[in-house]
Amino acid sequence: MRIATWNVNSITARLPRLLAWLEKSGTDVLCVQETKTTAEAFPAEALREVGYESAVNATGRWNGVALISRVGLDDVVPGLPGGPDYDGVTEPRAISATCGPVRLWSVYVPNGREVGHDHYTYKLRWFEALRAAVSDDAAGPRPFAVLGDYNVAPTDDDVWDPTVFEDSTHVTAPERDALTALRSTGLSDVVPRPLKYERPYTYWDYRQLAFPKNRGMRIDLVYGNEPFAKAVSDSYVDREERKGKGASDHAPVVVDLDV
């Protein structure tokens, strides 16, 4: 079974590439972030035509998550139970479902904007709610994983130059502590380093030739419980999908399971 996560940075803009990638990669379940569309405008029919069901949590031009599966979508839960609002709005940043033998979450963790900003506090509160919401499944016997854009680089090795990010979001101790707390529920990072690359980044800014210069960050993660981790047979970051015209600024992260 092949499972992947990909921040597509607008599913409307990326749809031709997405459909081609699904066919080429043979992915069974794709966790999508930053759909930037409403649920009504989500291209469910185009995906259905190539054999995929969709579960969507999206309300407009920002945020939005989805699960795309050709092995079933059951017990769908949109949203983060107990999650915080931001400026009185419940943002569409999480969705979970059972896909065949596994239970999966697709998450788009808040960016945080800058240290000390209200959005940074919101990010840490969001992580707290996520930890509480997944703790039972993480400790359970069924393969379970939380995939998505975490907007945190777990270590200094996960950014191209740690000095560039000093005093910035994505690398601060409270954010990394939030990842540690999430892992304490029984989850682990199932995509090891190094893979095919010395530093398998998943995100490169569009500006300043960041991708050609490999000035990236590893912020798209797959955290699985013990039954999920034991089933992993391979994993990779598909850097090729970051190349060319019309690419997202993130690359897909792919995990193969023997289940």
Binding residues: 7, 34, 149, 151, 249-250
Strands ordered across the beta sheet of 220-224: 74-78, 94-99, 102-108, 144-149, 220-224, 188-189
> What are the φ/ψ torsions at residue 31 (nearest 5 degrees)?
-90, 125
Alpha-carbon distance 238 to 220, whole Å? 12
Distance separating the N- and C-terminal Cα atoms of the chain: 7
Residue-wise burial string across 72-111, b where 16 or more C-beta atoms lie within 10 A, e elsewhere = ebeeebbbbeebbebeeeebbbbbbbbbbebbbbbbbbbb
Query: What does the alpha-carbon distance between residue 231 and residue 209 come to, in Å, rounded to a whole number?
Result: 37
Per-residue DSSP letters for 1-41? -EEEEEE-S-HHHHHHHHHHHHHHHT-SEEEEE---SBTTT
Known binding site for Mg(2+): residues? 7, 34, 149, 151, 249-250
Q: What gap in Å lies between CA 101 and CA 255, rounded to an integer?
A: 15
Query: How far apart are alpha carbons 36 and 58 in whole angstroms?
Result: 7
Return the active site residues.
Answer: 108, 149, 250
49, with CB counted inside 10 A (0-12, 13-18, 19+), is exposed
